[in-house]
Amino acid sequence: MEVRRISPTVAWLAILAVVAVATTFAAAVVDPITLRSNGRIVVLVLAVLGIVLATGQTGLVSLGHGAFVGTGAFAMAVLADDVDVPILLAIPLAGGIAAVFGGLVGLPALRLRGIQLALVTLGVAVVFPVIARQYPKLTGGVTGRTVDATVEPPGWMPAPFDEPGSFRFLVCVAVCLVGFWLTYNLMTSRVGRAMRAIRDNDIAAAAYGVDRTTTKVGAFAFSAGLAGVAGALQVMLFPFASHDQFTVFLSLRIYAAAVVGGVASIFGAVVGVAALVVVPAVNEALDLLESETAVFGLALVVLTFVAPGGLVELGARLWRRLRREPPAGTVSSPGDGSESERPERVLRPTASARRLRGDR
């Protein structure tokens, strides 16, 4: 059965409409404190999206995105308070600083096999809070720092976004959408194809003319930049940043959310972050465990066996079974956690070779 394909523009407009309605609804109904505390997790969607880009598209395992979130958060605090940059301008700047940091971290390890990047980033994740404590002028040291600069809604903002809390939430949603749009465009471009070529067989990719180091470092820096923006948004929502928010367990949680959601598509990031919001809420409501972290560890292990493509793959499979379609072998190959998208139309050797070289 041939599924009719929707043009990307229509899809984006539809997503924009749905998100706009949902955001307005949330801002009008949910009380500001709940909105803020959940918003702090929701913005992590950008960090998870960073993992999708780095791990799912390029095959680079990063266990250190929590450190990049922290870099973005502290950069935001410094820029907004010490340098007096307007907050809305400080958000992309903080992302840029995190991207530079990510590139520096990745540069030595990216020249090597993937697993060494996992080691180095895990090291960075463990070291980050320790180093952050050492520079109290920037990070507030042991106690952390508050941020005095705030962003207020402009006068023309209609209700319900004329309150500071809901306006900040709106900014977060808008920035996340922009992040998704940029990432989507990156993934569907020539660079995106080069990234997937590296993931699938980096030696062959190099033979076809892909500059491996530049592509890998670029992808990793962009991915770290997304995480940095998430950290900046966290500080905007709640003007406080402290080293103990950015421990290695934040990094592991971000990675787990990406893999549980599904690292092969950008929807996986949405599903993964939904899990980050829903699982603790359910756990607290039912009073099951002291900490919900175990659920993510277990899900990571079980999903590797059941559905390597994460919850997105599981959902797609269920959907197909409900519609009694034959299981499509093209959607995922068992045991390989990387593919759940359609086979690309450009993979004929001549075409891909041409595109990787850059002439169209």
Partner 1 sequence: MDLFLQRIFDGLFNGAIYASLAVAIVITFRTTGILNFAQGELAVFSAYIALLLLNPGARTLRGSGLVADYIPGTPWPVPLAIAGAVAAGAAAGALVERVVIRPLARASDLSIVNVTIGLLILVNAVVVEIWGVRGYLLDSPFPTGADDYVPVGGARLRLETIGVWATLLVVLTVLAIVLRHTRLGLAFRAATTNPESAELCGIPLSRTRLAGWIIAGALGALSATLVAHSVVLDPFMMIRLLIFSFAAATIGGLDSPGGAVVGGMIIGLTQSLVPGYVPGIGTEVSLVPAVAAMLLVLLIRPAGLFGTRRVSRV
Cβ at position 197, least distance to partner 1 in Å? 12
- Sign of the C-alpha dihedral computed for residues 127, 296, 44 and 180 taken in this order: positive
Q: Is 119 in the site for partner 1 (CB under 8 A)?
A: yes
The binder of partner 1 chosen from 130, 328, 346, 351 (CB under 8 A): 130
The CA distance from 226 to 65, in Å, is: 9
Read off φ and ψ for residue 31, nearest 5 degrees.
Answer: -75, 150
User: Does 252 contact partner 1 by CB under 8 A?
Assistant: yes
Decide whether 17 or 127 has the Cβ nearer to partner 1.
127
Q: How far is the CB of 12 from partner 1 (least distance, A)?
A: 29
Stretch 260-289: interaction string toward partner 1, x if CB under 8 A: -----------------------------x
Residue 300 makes contact with partner 1 by CB under 8 A = yes
Using rule CB under 8 A, residue 347 touches partner 1: no
Residues in CB range of 53: below 8 A, 6 or more apart: 183, 186, 187, 195, 219, 222, 223, 226
The interface mask with partner 1, positions 158-197, x = CB under 8 A, is ----------------------------------------
Cα(187)–Cα(196) distance, rounded to whole angstroms?
9
- Using rule CB under 8 A, residue 356 touches partner 1: no
Cα dihedral 215, 217, 220, 222 in deg (nearest 10): -80
**What character string, x for contact with partner 1 (CB under 8 A) and - otherwise, covers 193-222?**
--------x-xx--x---------------
DSSP 192-227: HHHHHHHHH-HHHHHHTT--HHHHHHHHHHHHHHHH
The CA-atom distances, in angstroms, between 237 and each of 36, 73, 168, 178, 225 are: 6, 11, 6, 18, 18
Residues 89-108 within binding reach of partner 1 (CB under 8 A):
108
Helix 349-357 and helix 190-200, axial crossing angle in degrees, nearest 10: 120
Query: Contact residues for partner 1 (CB under 8 A)?
Result: 55, 59, 61, 63, 108-109, 111-112, 114-116, 118-120, 122-124, 126-127, 130-131, 133-134, 201, 203-204, 207, 248, 252-253, 255-256, 259, 289-291, 293-294, 296-301, 304-305, 308, 335-338
